[in-house]
Structure 1
């Protein structure tokens, strides 16, 4: 994987960037950086990586606009669940800023009228002091694959979500309730794309990810075995490996061969342009795994 990320850095340099493009990761409904901790630990040692919260309003469009005012000029973008929905809206609004895309446990389709109506009792319950019950209903136990750490993962996610408060839940629920179809934005994107899902995801099943991958000209589907809706925590090593391969992919309009004009370029001081630095090996850690 270190070799894969090393190639990713060289690719970005040949494309004119200053090394590795930053990686921006977007969590799901009431999510925090907790869902990406294993990937942050592994990837942040070899490229700039960050997690952006889904703030900014009660429409997906407003959240995307809010994020675009804060994110780098160009970045690799990965979104999980609701984060994937926001990532698609960012792609629709500013495709020139997204160098590559990773969509996990998500869907490009809007809610049906029946699904949209189902948010109303959840919003009422959250406002009446039952946020934890609401979160447990949104992410039930069987949405993750059976494993010894399943309850530990879920309890951590519930606690993190409760710490964000009911008002944020209401805003995010309204945003999901009124989201629009993103199929056209996906069809237009030509950059390297990873569509990733857990084989046992009951919330956004495999067929939905197969559908997304078929829409996109340069998409690769990766199914994570023994994982459900939160593969980043359920099978962190598999997910990080898939993301490392995605980050190392050469974009369709880039040549894998070295560019002689760049290799012989000189600095303003007249010296040779230094080669891209070698990258250290990745360290893969699951903080929720008990010894």
Structure 2
């Protein structure tokens, strides 16, 4: 799988969501750069970004196993942290089940908790702030993608979406994504494979996230004994783009906990 690697220090694997690529999370990099020494490994999931996907990539389990293989090759026996966003959050939970105490800490940004879309607890889709002038100035396809996700429409928010989300949305392998979508759920829920993850955990959700919601994410905290749970208002499914300052503050505190945990 394609990846980009920045910095040196405590390793962290960053896993993006569905139909985008590693660039969705690159805006977080200054946060890590400002909080100690971190080796940041951003990966493109199979069929997305620059990672190819053969016919064997036909399910969430196949994606998860590809990421497990990548992590073993990249980190060996070294302990590492994991950050997962959306679909990548489900994969990150799988890594916790697979690697156990080798995972130093877990950060979940708007993670998929309930794979079946029809079974999710979701708020109604709402836009708190519209900007029709901005939307009218965009290319129609760009405006449609942005309008689908944006809770607070503004030039600054659009620029973050344009740079982080659009590149992946324009390049993913549609056939591979269709294969994965047909088997979107993991065969076994990760939390069924362990009694409770002891490492520092952050579960961050958007109050207006109509894609995965926030209530299922709050309930997930029961399986993570050192979890900080935050539901951010004025934030949708791309909460780290909608509320970058709050996300940075919460991630910074989580990184401090991970560094302290590493010394135990």
Whether TM-score is above 0.5 comes out as: yes
Please say if 1:51 is aligned against 2:42. yes
Contact kept, 8 Å, 1:203 with 1:229, in 2: the verdict is yes
Which of residues 13, 18, 34 is equivalent to 1:29? 18
3-state SS, counterpart of residue 23 of structure 2: helix
Contact kept, 8 Å, 1:198 with 1:227, in 2: the verdict is yes
3-state SS, counterpart of residue 230 of structure 2: strand
Question: Partner residue of 2:211?
Answer: 203
Please say if 1:108 is aligned against 2:113. yes
Please say if 1:97 is aligned against 2:102. yes
Please say if 1:145 is aligned against 2:151. yes
Distance change (3 Å), C-alpha of 1:186 and 1:83: farther
Deviation at 1:155, TM superposition (A): 4.9
Which of residues 28, 37, 51 is equivalent to 1:39? 28
3-state SS, counterpart of residue 83 of structure 2: strand
Question: Partner residue of 1:60?
Answer: 60
RMSD: 3.2
Rounded to whole Å, the distance in 2 between the matches of 1:64 and 1:136 is 32
Structure possessing the higher relative contact order (Cα contacts under 8 Å, 6 or more residues apart): 1
Q: Which moved more, 1:49-58 or 1:190-199?
A: 49-58
Deviation at 1:68, TM superposition (A): 2.2
Contact kept, 8 Å, 2:196 with 2:223, in 1: the verdict is no
Contact kept, 8 Å, 1:88 with 1:185, in 2: the verdict is no
For residues 110-159 of structure 1, the C-alpha deviation after alignment (integer angstroms, 9 at most, x for no partner) is 317x67xxxxxxxxxxxxxxxx98x999x773543213044445555244
Deviation at 1:37, TM superposition (A): 1.8
Distance change (3 Å), C-alpha of 1:213 and 1:136: farther
Please say if 1:213 is aligned against 2:221. yes
Question: Partner residue of 2:136?
Answer: none
3-state SS, counterpart of residue 31 of structure 2: helix
Please say if 1:173 is aligned against 2:173. no
Provide TM-score, normalisation by structure 2: 0.70
Rounded to whole Å, the distance in 2 between the matches of 1:25 and 1:232 is 14
Contact kept, 8 Å, 1:101 with 1:191, in 2: the verdict is yes
Rounded to whole Å, the distance in 1 between the matches of 2:66 and 2:148 is 33
3-state SS, counterpart of residue 41 of structure 2: strand
Where does structure 1 lack aligned partners over 5 or more consecutive residues? 1-18, 116-131, 257-291
Q: What is the total number of aligned residue pairs between the two structures? A: 219
Question: Partner residue of 1:285?
Answer: none
3-state SS, counterpart of residue 242 of structure 1: helix
3-state SS, counterpart of residue 89 of structure 2: helix
Contact kept, 8 Å, 1:136 with 1:158, in 2: the verdict is no
Deviation at 1:175, TM superposition (A): 4.0
Any runs of at least 4 consecutive aligned residues in structure 1 with deviations exceeding 6 A, and if so which? 251-256
Mapping of 1:59-78 within 5 angstroms? 59-71=59-71, 72-73=75-76, 74-78=79-83
Mapping of 1:224-243 within 5 angstroms? 224-243=232-251
